[in-house]
Structures are given as structure tokens and as C-alpha cells.
């Protein structure tokens, strides 16, 4: 069989990985009461053939719990819950980063603790709806505009969550700056119309993101800090704007200066969004000297081509990991991938459509 670079050992900075396959972060909504549990541990353990696992979006604050049943990283119960997963994944020989995701305006009060607030850079309502267990689909609401104190406090919550992640046994954290959540809400001039030094110019709109990345890297180590970006993404009501390329040119240069472990660039064109132009991937590749993870509708051959070309250091796979818990073993042995995928159960509460997908008959992974 061909010797794929994708399947050979790789280093993410100083962190050794058994291969260059990344399990992409995917919201799965199994954290009852926002606390990671044994079912989630099983799910990640099954998929620990990946060199690096990046968890589902995990809120650094009660204010960031926009979706039903997503986990947090701000309480001791959540830290203890996540330890079950990190121990299991490490015993299987993989590394694991937690994705810290503050949803900002992509939220609904019915999914939130009573004392929490839904805020954003500007009081602009997102188009669309949010699932709530109490009343099913509900329109997004108009968020409160963040004050200077809110901005300072939210940065502090990201830092505290990052420290909690290390206590929970994670190898690092990925800051979610993509998909229309709080960090990207600051980046975009569509969702950010502030008149202070966090809005207006490209430099100002990127300021909060850079501040958070800087603070987290100082708290846990730059080699343990990554960020996910989605230029040209349209998720969560993120329309295009003329200076997208200039924005990510500036942002990637600033991230390079901070010397963080990686940028994770996601392209959702496989799910109907506009394609991220090759030019912007190359731009970020040229601006950023550390690892670049690319994600978006890859198969084994196209992933290997990106690695061989030097455009990417690691390749992230999302949906193929849902119904192929042994995805890496299937790649290694040229076994066919499962095509059975129950999308109706992506965000449900139980094991069905989560930990019950079968592994290949010859696979060492215990699944299904």
C-alpha cells in the first residue's frame, strides 16, 4: 500500500502525533446539564485513532452556552467530567485539544442559565433560529451590546477556561474564531458596528481576538494554543464583506507574531457554503510559519495531496468520523468507509447516532 504522509507520525510544534489526521470539532449536544459524561468519553475514545482530536465547542462561560446540551469548561464538575475523556484518549495514544467556543449572539435564553446574558459586539439580531429543548425552534434574539467591562470579563473567562482545560488533562486549546460565534462576530463589520477601539478598522475589529489569543497563550503556553478561522464562511448569518482577504491577511500576520501552535482553516463548501479561495489559503500559509490545519470535505487522496503540496501540515475530518469511529484504521487498511449517516440524530441526547456506529469487522476499535 502507498506510504501516505497523512498516516505517518507528525509533530505539532513540540507535541508528537501518531499521524497527521485530525478529528475536527463537531457539536453533538450530549452534555446533559452542560457537564461532560461517560457517553462522551466513549465517543472520543472510539475515535482516538486520530493523531489529534479537537473536541466539540465547549463554552468558557455560562454566557456562551448558546446551544442545548453543550459542555462547558468553567466549573469543577466540568473539569472532572472532561478528565474521563482526556485519560481515555491519552491511553489510546492520541492527543486532544478542547475547542473553547463562546456563542455570543447565536443563542437563546431557553438554553441558558437564568443568571446568564446573551451579548455580542453590537446589538444586531442574527437571522435564523435556534433549537431549544423546551420550545423547539425559536428565533434568535437581539443581543446586548458588550460594554468595556463585558469585554474584559469575557477575555478573563477564556483564560480561566484554558487553565481549566490544562487541569482537565488536555494537551491544549483551540479558540473558536469561526462559524459566526463571538470571536468572529468581532471580526466581521456586518456583526460589529462599534465606534470604539474594538470596531471600525480591520485592526480594531481583530483586536478582541488578538487580545484573547495573547492572554490564553501567556496563561497556558503558546505551543498549546490554536485558533479556528472560517474566512468566506456563512454559518450563523455571516454575510460576505469586501475586505475579507485584507482582514485575514492582517489577522494571520498578527497570529504569526504570537507564535501560537496552529491556525485551523475550515472550508464549508462541501455543505453548500461558498468555497474558500485557494488564494486565501496560500496567503495564510505564507503569513503563518507554524502548523496550518485544513478542514473541509477531504478524502484520503485529497488530504494526502494537500500534505504533499506543503499547503497543509495536518488535515481535519469531520463527518467521516461520525459514522466511521475507526476512520484512520480504514484509511490504513484501504477498507471502505461507511455511508450510513443518521443526520436526524446529530444533536440528540442519547447514544443512538453517536456511539453506536459499527467499526469495520477487522478493526480493533470497539464501537457499535
User: Positive or negative CA dihedral for 166, 55, 217, 91?
Assistant: positive
149 contact partners, CB below 8 Å, separation of at least 6: none
Do strands 129-132 and 136-139 pair parallel, antiparallel, or not at all (unpaired)? antiparallel
User: Residue 210's closest CA among 140, 275, 258, 267?
Assistant: 258
Phi and psi dihedrals of 12, rounded to 5?
-105, 90
Contact 144, 105 (CB under 8 A): no
- Annotated catalytic residue within 43, 181, 248, 357: 181
Measured CA angle at 52 (ends 226, 13), to 5 deg:
50
Residue in 228, 302, 288, 303 with CA at minimum distance from that of residue 10: 303
Strand partners, 11: 16
- Give the Cα separation of 191 and 8 in Å (integer): 42
Q: 188: closest CA among 148, 239, 249, 150?
A: 239
Q: CA-to-CA distance for 257 and 105, rounded, in angstroms?
A: 30
* Whole-number Å distance between alpha carbons of 345 and 348: 5
- Check if 181 is active-site: yes
Catalytic residues: 181
Amino acid at each position: 500500500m502507498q506510504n501516505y504522509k497523512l498516516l505517518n507520525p507528525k509533530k505539532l510544534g513540540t507535541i508528537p502525533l501518531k499521524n497527521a489526521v485530525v478529528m475536527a470539532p463537531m457539536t453533538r449536544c450530549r452534555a446533559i446539564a452542560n457537564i461532560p459524561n461517560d457517553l462522551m468519553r466513549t465517543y472520543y475514545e472510539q475515535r482516538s485513532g486520530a493523531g489529534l482530536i479537537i473536541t466539540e465547542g465547549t463554552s468558557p462561560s455560562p454566557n456562551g452556552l448558546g446551544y442545548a446540551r453543550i459542555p462547558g469548561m468553567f466549573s469543577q464538575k466540568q473539569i472532572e467530567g472532561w478528565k474521563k475523556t482526556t485519560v481515555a484518549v491519552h491511553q489510546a495514544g492520541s492527543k486532544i485539544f478542547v475547542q473553547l467556543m463562546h456563542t455570543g449572539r447565536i443563542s437563546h435564553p431557553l438554553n441558558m442559565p437564568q443568571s446568564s446574558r446573551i451579548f455580542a459586539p453590537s446589538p444586531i439580531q442574527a437571522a435564523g433560529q435556534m433549537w431549544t429543548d423546551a420550545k423547539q425552534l425559536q428565533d434568535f434574539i437581539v443581543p446586548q451590546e458588550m460594554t468595556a467591562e463585558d469585554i474584559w470579563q469575557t477575555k478573563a473567562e477564556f483564560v480561566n477556561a484554558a487553565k481549566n482545560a490544562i487541569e482537565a488533562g488536555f494537551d491544549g486549546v483551540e479558540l473558536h474564531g469561526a462559524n459566526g460565534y463571538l470571536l468572529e462576530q468581532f471580526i466581521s463589520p456586518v456583526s460589529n458596528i462599534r465606534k470604539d477601539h474594538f470596531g471600525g478598522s480591520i485592526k480594531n475589529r481583530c483586536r478582541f481576538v488578538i487580545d484573547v489569543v495573547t492572554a490564553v497563550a501567556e496563561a497556558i503556553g503558546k505551543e498549546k494554543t490554536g485558533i479556528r478561522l472560517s474566512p468566506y464562511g456563512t454559518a450563523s448569518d455571516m454575510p460576505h464583506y469586501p475586505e475579507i482577504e485584507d482582514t485575514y491577511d492582517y489577522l494571520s500576520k498578527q497570529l504569526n507574531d504570537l507564535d501560537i501552535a496552529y491556525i485551523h482553516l475550515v472550508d464549508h463548501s462541501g455543505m453548500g457554503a461558498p468555497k474558500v479561495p485557494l488564494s486565501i489559503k496560500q496567503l495564510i500559509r505564507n503569513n503563518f510559519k507554524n502548523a496550518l490545519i485544513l478542514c473541509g470535505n477531504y478524502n484520503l487522496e485529497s488530504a494526502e495531496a494537500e500534505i504533499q503540496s506543503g499547503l497543509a501540515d495536518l488535515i481535519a475530518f469531520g463527518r467521516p468520523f461520525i459514522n466511521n469511529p475507526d476512520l484512520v484504521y480504514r484509511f490504513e487498511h484501504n477498507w471502505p468507509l461507511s455511508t450510513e449517516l443518521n443526520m436526524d440524530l446529530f444533536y440528540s441526547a442519547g447514544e443512538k447516532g453517536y456511539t453506536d456506529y459499527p467499526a469495520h469487522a477487522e478493526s480493533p476499535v470497539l464501537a457499535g
